[in-house]
Amino acid sequence: MLNIILIGPPGSGKGTQAKQISTKYNLKHLSTGDILRNEVKNQTPLGLQAKSIMDKGELVSDEIVIGMIKNFIDNATGANGFLYDGFPRTVAQAEALNKMLQQKDMLVNAIIFMDAPEKVFIERMQKRAEIEGRTDDADINVIRKRLVEYYEKTFPVKEYYEKYFTNAFHTINANQEVENVFNDICKVINNL
Ligand code: AP5
Ligand code: MG
């Protein structure tokens, strides 16, 4: 079973790439953002709790997110592994994932860091606001807050993997055409 993590700032293209990669390699696509948005849409107790946090551009609690992922790992069948998109986003989440995988005799096989200048992400999110209507894309202040959360809490996750999973860590230039980013990610996965 493969466990591949896509990590990068909001708007770096994690979701776009995850859809194509998970199809090509038959991986279960685990997007914590999509799962949470689905809960919001269905107005579940979790969704009602998460909505105000997401609309502010802040991170939902580690406890909630780790519980969601555990549920998916425990119940997944029929795939070649998992592709994590938007998780782990804190060092506590990364450590919890290590533990969950160890219990199942698995490990993180690759961490793919989506790198590009900040300006590119902001423009993509503003464009997406018009297309998809995501509430957290509509307000530049919320976009900025998401970036602050990223630099404070998620960038240390990138550093954590770079330090402790050096051989599994790969940086991809996310500032290219979707197809070229996809090809670069495939090269990494084909070598696993
Ligand atoms: P989440 O849904 O994970 O959002 P995010 O990290 O802010 O990332 P995005 O989904 O905005 O961007 P992306 O990298 O997927 O880019 P995309 O492919 O869409 O999280 C949302 C919220 O949920 C969080 O703020 C938090 O509250 C909560 N949450 C989620 N996970 C959590 C966790 N683990 N812990 C705590 N809280 C959590 O691309 C962006 C746009 O650019 C699209 O329009 C796309 O078409 C376009 N595009 C993509 N690639 C290219 C390219 N190469 N060239 C040109 N355009 C491109
Ligand atoms: Mg996404």
Domain 2-186 has CATH 3.40.50.150: no
Closest CA to 122 of 141, 105, 99, 135: 141
- Angle at CA of residue 111, ends 107 and 113, nearest 5°: 165
Q: Is 128 a catalytic residue?
A: yes
pTM for the predicted model, two decimal places: 0.97
3-state helix, strand, coil in the chain (%, to 5): 60, 15, 25
Can you give the pLDDT at residue 76? 81
Polymer length of the chain: 192
The ligand minimizing its distance to the Cα of 35 is 1
Can you give the pLDDT at residue 78? 87
Q: Is 14 a catalytic residue?
A: yes
How far is 21 from 27, CA to CA, in rounded Å?
8
Can you give the pLDDT at residue 24? 98
Q: Is 37 a catalytic residue?
A: no
Contacts of 36 (CB under 8 A, 6+ apart): 46, 47, 50, 54, 60, 68
- Mutation probe of ligand 1 site: the residue of 5, 6, 32 with most atoms within 8 A of C-beta: 32
Q: What is the pLDDT along the chain (192 residues), one digit of tens a residue?
A: 999 999 999 999 999 999 999 999 999 999 999 999 999 999 999 999 999 999 999 999 999 999 999 988 888 888 999 999 999 999 999 999 999 999 999 999 999 999 999 999 999 999 999 999 899 999 999 999 999 999 999 999 999 999 999 999 999 999 999 999 999 999 999 999
Can you give the pLDDT at residue 74? 87
Ligand 1 first shell, C-beta below 6 A: 8, 10-16, 32-33, 36, 53-54, 57-60, 65, 86-87, 89, 93, 124-125, 127-128, 136, 146, 177-178, 181
Q: How far is the CA of 31 from the centre of ligand 2 (A)?
A: 7
End-to-end CA distance of the chain: 11
Extents of the domains making up the chain: 2-186
